[in-house]
Each structure stands twice: as structure tokens, then as C-alpha cells.
Structure 1
């Protein structure tokens, strides 16, 4: 009887340790998913700009992004698409504007972070996206 109780206690400790490591991994994967979503939004806006021959920009909030297109007639930015970003927060120093030639007029540095860590995404004038994990 004592052996069974001891075995169950050891098993409980092992399960607790394993579940804590899985919880930490969940934050990591949520952050990586958010980085992928932001990158996809930038690539999508650039592709739309090239294909449609119009300027597109991406604006960021703390937990969302919005793709907008510029209407030459009204001089206004019209919402095209938007989505929430779950599991991470986003800050950006600029709203990048993609030109029909594929370049960017407002280069941006975007930081995506949560409790697990942070990534920095930089957008070059050519439209190239560079992603780097920031040290903890």
C-alpha cells in the first residue's frame, strides 16, 4: 500500500513538472503565430499593391492590424482587411505604405512580444522583411 501511494506521489510530481513546461511552450507558439500573422499581413499588402496598382498600408494596434488602400479620388484611406492578433502585443513606429512598384514609403520597425519573449520585424525600403528574436 505504501509503495502505491509513493508511486502516485512521484507520478503527480512528474505530471506537474511536465504540464508547467507545456504551458511555457504555449506562450512561445502563440508568439511565433503572431509573428507569422504580422508577416503575412505585410506580404499581403505588398502583393495587393503590386497587383492592383494602388497604394496599400498596414496599421497596427496593440492587438490587431488593419490593411487599408488609398483612394486617389477622395484622398482617404479605405479599410480593406483587418484581423486580431491573439497571444501577443504589437507596437510599430510607423504604418508602412506599399507602392505599386513593390517598395515602401514609410519604413517601419514592428515589435511583437508576450511573456515568453519578443521579436523585432524591420521593413526595408525595398519591401524586404527582416525578423529577429530579441534577447530575453
Structure 2
């Protein structure tokens, strides 16, 4: 009976590890949050050859918001792709360009206009293995 219980616990433990791993692969791995007092918001960096990004601009925002995927191979970040998202709209799973090697990525949220504030938006960037 004791061997049966140990085997059962071991099997359940392995199953839960696989389930958590599968869930983590589908989860966003970086997030950027823009509040109304900010003129720009950036996520932390993440590495890869390409990324997916998306998010939502709040209906209460005063302006459209740029969702910009940026990449860096060392010295500075440059724009890879960008989408202008209207008030109350969202975008999902926008694919960046593929790079030939692993680079750093981040997502920047930037309200339309220079130094503009008054927007609330949340964006994500992720990579599917």
C-alpha cells in the first residue's frame, strides 16, 4: 500500500510539473502599463529571435496609443514594428520581424503626440516556443 501511494504521489507531481510548464509557455512574459500621468511606458526586456505583442487602449484614454515593439542587439533600442491603437480598441498577437540571432526586445506604449499624457493602456509581449 505504501509503494502504491508513493507511486501515485510521484505521478501526480510529474503531471502537475508538465501542466505548469504548458501554461507558462502560453503566458505573456512581459507587460507594459501606461497610466494617465505618464507620457511613455516600457516593459522589461526579454530575449528572442521574434516576439508577439498586443494589448488594449482604454476607452477612457484621451488619445490613440502607439504599441511599439523595439529590439536591441547591444547599444540601443530601435523600432521593429508599431501599431496605433484607438480609444477602446485592442490588438492581439502582432508578430514582429524575425532576426537572424537572439536580440533583446521590449514593448513601448506611447500616446499619440509629443509628450502627450492622459492615456491608460496595457500591452504584452510574448514568445511561443
**What TM-score results when the alignment is normalised by the length of structure 1?**
0.32
The structure, 1 or 2, with the larger RCO (C-alpha pairs under 8 Å, 6+ apart) is 2
**What TM-score results when the alignment is normalised by the length of structure 2?**
0.34
Which structure has more strand as a fraction of its residues?
Answer: 2
Which structure has more helix as a fraction of its residues?
Answer: 1
